């Protein structure tokens, strides 16, 4: 009988849409010491983990994708079984908007792994190349829907590979035993993050952009902070968001959620949303593990 490892194995499962950055994610985990396996068939997951536990492995990352579509429905039950065995499981799902995925496949001229699958099933030829690609992407969404539901979703639509790697490393540095709050600022003009659990629109608040001396600053700079803190509407918005989260974070934690992403958006993702993310992360940091993301600031 094999000896039980002194500390639990940490398993990170990376799934997601083709073209969303799974290879980038796997490289990031390899950089920080995970033993990484790409495209492991789901049928082998339990045996593979058992083998890694026998050799007292500490950190393992596995990527699975739609090429294993037939057996992917096995995965949610397998993950529950591994958790019951004491394995610290983190499930991450990389996603991007359909438009972003179409652009990436067009730029790289790669073929989507499901190209032609839906047309073949219907017995009709694709009408054109773009339509066929969109069909393949939407079919992939359907096939991966259950895995997405069980995972923490990361939106890679408008971030660079280096940003994705940094965000993954931040997520994995958080303890697995408690809920982690991810506060994310964004610009509505670049689209709502697809990984958000809650979205708050703060575009109705006074905008520092229209003050020439504040325009080039951000919500982390003292003059912008002073400007926003002098506005009663801003304080009321902050209190309303904080009150909402105070009400529901404990039930979410009891539901065994590992991560909750709270996205706060303004027009440019530079002033109001950044300020509120910083304030809320500071307010909740004493009670919960909190991470900050500033999508537009990190872009450039």
User: How do residues 32-44 score in pLDDT, each as one tens digit?
Assistant: 899 999 999 999 9
Q: How many other β-carbons are positioned within 10 Å of the β-carbon of residue 122?
A: 9
Binding-site residue positions for ATP: 16-23
Per the annotation, where are the binding residues?
16-23, 65-68
Look at residue 127 and tell me whether its pLDDT is greater than 70.
no
Parallel, antiparallel or unpaired: strands 10-16 and 88-95: parallel
* Architecture in CATH of 10-173: 3-Layer(aba) Sandwich (3.40)
Which is higher by pLDDT, 199 or 162?
Answer: 199
Q: Residue 260's beta-bridge partner residues?
A: 181
Query: Mind giving me the DSSP string for 220-245?
Result: TSHHHHHHHHT-HHHHHHHHHHHHHH
With contact defined as beta carbons under 8 Å apart, do 61 and 172 qualify? no
Residue 125 pLDDT > 60:
no
Task: Give the tokens for residue 124.
Answer: 């009709």
**The model's pTM:** 0.78
Q: How many residues can be counted in the chain? A: 300
Nearest to 31 by CA among 126, 144, 169, 155: 169
Computed over every residue of the chain, the mean pLDDT equals 90
219-234 core/surface letters (b: 16 or more CB in 10 A; e: else): bbbeebbebbeeeeeb
Specify binding-site residues for GTP: 65-68
Q: β-strand 88-95 against 152-155: which pairing, if any?
A: parallel
Is the separation of the CB atoms in 296 and 190 below 8 Å?
Answer: yes
CA angle, 33 then 37 then 45, to 5°: 115
Question: pLDDT band for position 77 (50/70/90)?
Answer: very high
Q: Name the band, by pLDDT with cuts 50, 70 and 90, for residue 284.
A: very high
Residue 95: pLDDT over 80: yes
Domain locations in the chain as residue ranges: 10-173, 180-299
Look at residue 189 and tell me whether its pLDDT is greater than 70: yes
What pLDDT is attached to residue 4?
A: 45
């Amino acid at each position: 009988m094999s000896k039980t490892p002194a500390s639990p194995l940490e398993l990170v499962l990376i799934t997601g849409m083709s073209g969303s950055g799974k290879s980038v994610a796997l490289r990031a985990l390899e950089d920080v010491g995970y033993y990484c396996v790409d495209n492991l068939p789901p049928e082998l997951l339990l045996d593979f983990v058992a083998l890694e536990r026998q050799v007292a492995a500490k950190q393992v990352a596995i990527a699975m994708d739609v090429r294993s579509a037939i057996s992917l429905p096995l995965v949610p039950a397998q993950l529950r079984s591994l958790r019951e065995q004491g394995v610290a499981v983190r499930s991450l799902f990389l996603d991007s908007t359909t438009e972003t995925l179409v652009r990436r496949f067009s730029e790289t001229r790669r073929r989507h792994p499901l190209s032609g699958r839906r047309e073949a099933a219907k017995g009709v030829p694709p009408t054109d190349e773009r339509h066929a690609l969109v069909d393949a992407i939407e079919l992939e969404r359907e096939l991966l829907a259950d895995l997405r539901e069980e995972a923490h979703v990361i939106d890679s639509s408008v971030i660079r590979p280096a940003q994705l790697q940094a965000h993954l490393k931040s997520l994995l540095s958080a303890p697995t035993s408690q809920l982690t709050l991810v506060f994310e600022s964004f610009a509505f003009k670049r689209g709502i993050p697809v990984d958000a659990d809650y979205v708050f629109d703060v575009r109705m608040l006074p905008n520092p952009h229209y003050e020439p001396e504040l325009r080039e600053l951000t919500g982390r700079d003292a003059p912008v902070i002073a400007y926003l803190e002098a506005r009663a509407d801003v304080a009321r918005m902050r209190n309303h968001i904080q009150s909402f989260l105070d009400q529901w974070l404990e039930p979410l934690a009891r539901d065994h959620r590992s991560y909750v992403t709270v996205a706060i958006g303004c027009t440019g993702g530079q002033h109001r949303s950044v300020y509120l993310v910083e304030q809320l992360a500071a307010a909740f940091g004493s009670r919960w593990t909190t991470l900050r993301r500033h999508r537009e600031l990190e872009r450039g």
